Structure 1
Amino acid sequence: MRNRAFRALALAAVAAAWQPPAPARAQVDTAAMNALARMGTYLNSLTTFQVRAEITREEVLADGQKVQLASSADLVADQPRRLRVNVSDDRQQRLLLYDGRSFTLFAPRLNFYATTAAPGSIQDLARQLEDRHGVELPLVDLFRWGTPEARVAEITSAMVVGPAEVGGVTCEQYAFRQAGLDWQVWIQKGEFPLPCRLVLTTLTDEARPQHATTYTWNLAPSFNDAAFAFVPPADARQITFAEVAAERASRN
């Protein structure tokens, strides 16, 4: 009995003395941040490029079940004033054209299009579409990395995960965290530090839905002026872009 009592007292003392380990403090690895900055600087140095993006995203249903949807985007950029993006999935197709003066969105399956006057750069166009029309330019991050709009100051954790391969390309994988978001990027090693894969995980939803993009790059694309010009089909119907400010006013 004494031995049992002694063991019980000893275990109680150990339990009272034990404290759970403190959670590790978030670390911002300088090497990871430098790699991100180098990638952004390189992307900003490109004048012309073509990139094919294979995209998967998870939608969370009302009962918490996740459904994965796939799409693709083919983008040709002639910076700073011309852009062509073709986006398609099982349900819809969209062609976006920007020639430095106007921006057009064409829906071939529905056969309608909308055109609006546009500012003089792709970055300014992206801001105008979001602020005025509530439209996000596909693959817009490619034009924001390396600029103040990348908001790298909001990163609270950054780490080097290690070497990896994406589609036969040798990369280094990095992981970052900021408010409401975990994200990873695989950056090509060598003199062309291009993003090869990007994975975003939303933390504000307990289901943790992900959005993943794999990129295939062509740094010497072939195109002509007609690639960025829109000639509507004879039977296409023209509509007008909705104004976000007007919609908000009507709700109030």
Structure 2
Amino acid sequence: MINKYLLLALFIPFVMFAQNTKVDSIAVLVTDRMSDVIGDLTSCSFKMEASMDETGQYGLEKRFTSYQVYLKGPDRLLVQARGDKSHKGYWYNGEHLVYYSYRENNYSVIAAPDSTLTAIEKIHNDYGIEFPAADFFFPAITDDILENFPVFVYLGSKYINGKECFHLMADNDKMNFQVWVSNDAYTLPIKFSITYKDREGTPQYNATFSEWNLNPDLPDVLFDFIPPPDAGQIAILPMQDE
């Protein structure tokens, strides 16, 4: 059953902008609503299980990473990540971001802008640091999809872990992006998949969300990093411009 908030979209046909371009109004409406719900949150937390194909000795190998993410207001972020290759954390408090390696017991402090989304974008551009599912928290996610993907369609109702979801797909020459959004009042992302068509072996990135907690009372101290005993401070250099 289609969410009552989106019922009217069923009667709006595909919008055809040009040859080989398809934009489905249902896909746009679902993404807009998801973005509006996330944008109205004062805080949230969630878990994410991700897998990424990487080139190994015998072809593509899957690497797994588990994330625990906490966000509060416009300027607080905490990410805990544990994977096959590393165990790390990121603390952002509106002034700086701290990267800490649990395995190496060292940390770096990076000056950052005073908003979470701006900080994520700048630190990614300057240092190549990836933040899990960051695109879902940018208000312009629908516009970004429409700008970069000539195909954006609704593929029907699917079930992920027993939950009914809207299945959306965006496609271009280099990438195929699919997302499953919960068919309920909150319309939150449940799973997404990226296929890199322009890379050898067409590797995939897959991620599943769980344990969404909306507007929890998160203390500010949660986002302040306290160095463990004997932890060493190191410097991270920004990437060099090519």
Interval containing the TM-score (normalised by the shorter chain): 0.7 to 0.9
The one of 232, 235, 239 equivalent to 1:240 is 235
Rounded Cα–Cα distance in structure 2 between residues aligned with 1:108 and 1:163:
41
**What letter matches 1:242 in structure 2?**
L
Aligned mate of 2:50, from 55, 58, 61:
55
Do structure 1's residue 213 and structure 2's residue 184 form an aligned pair?
A: no
1:202-242 per-residue CA deviation (whole Å, 9 max, x = no partner) reads 11024111100100111143432221111101200001121
Q: Is the alpha carbon distance of 1:91 and 1:231 closer, same or farther for their aligned partners in structure 2, counting shifts above 3 Å? A: same
Distance between the aligned counterparts of 1:137 and 1:25, measured in 2?
32
**Mapped partners of 2:165, 2:139: distance in 1:** 18
Q: Which residue of 2 aligns with 1:114?
A: 108
Deviation sequence 1:104-161 (CA, Å, 0-9, x none): 0000110000002221111110122023222222321122253588353222112211
Runs of at least 4 residues of structure 1 off by over 6 A? none
- Choose which of 6, 29, 33 in structure 1 pairs with 2:28: 33
Aligned-partner Cα distance in 1 for 2:62–2:56:
11
Residue 69 of structure 1 corresponds to which residue in structure 2? 63
Following the alignment from structure 2 to structure 1, what is the Cα–Cα distance between the partners of residues 140 and 38?
8
Contact 1:202 1:208 in 2 (8 A): yes
- Distance, in Å, in 2 between the alignment partners of 1:152 and 1:58 is 26
Q: Which structure has more helix as a fraction of its residues?
A: 1
Structure with larger Rg: 1
Question: What root-mean-square deviation, in Å, do the aligned CA atoms of Structure 1 and Structure 2 show?
Answer: 2.0
1:42-66, Cα deviation, whole Å (9 max, x unpaired): 2211120001000011113476x21
Residue 126, structure 1, aligned to residue 120, structure 2? yes
User: Counterparts in 2 of 1:86-105, with a 5 A limit?
Assistant: 86-105=80-99
TM-score normalised over the length of structure 1: 0.82
Percent of residue pairs bearing the same amino acid type: 25
Structure 2 gaps of 5+ residues are 1-18
| Counterpart residue number, 2:10 | none
Q: Which residue of 2 aligns with 1:181?
A: 175
Offset of 1:27 from its aligned partner?
A: 2.1
**Residue type of the partner of 2:231?**
A
**Deviation of the 1:70 alpha carbon:** 0.9
Give SS of 1:126's match: helix
Secondary structure, aligned partner of 2:34: helix
3-state DSSP of counterpart to 1:207? coil
Give the 3-state SS of the residue equivalent to 2:216 in structure 1.
Answer: coil
CA contact (8 A) 1:83 1:122 kept: yes
- C-alpha separation in 1, matches of 2:65 and 2:204: 14
State the 1:90 CA deviation: 2.6
Amino acid across the alignment from 2:164: T
Query: Structure 2 CA distance, aligned partners of 1:42 and 1:177?
Result: 24
How many matched pairs? 223
Contact 2:152/2:170 (<8 A) preserved = yes
Match of 1:225 among 220, 232, 236: 220
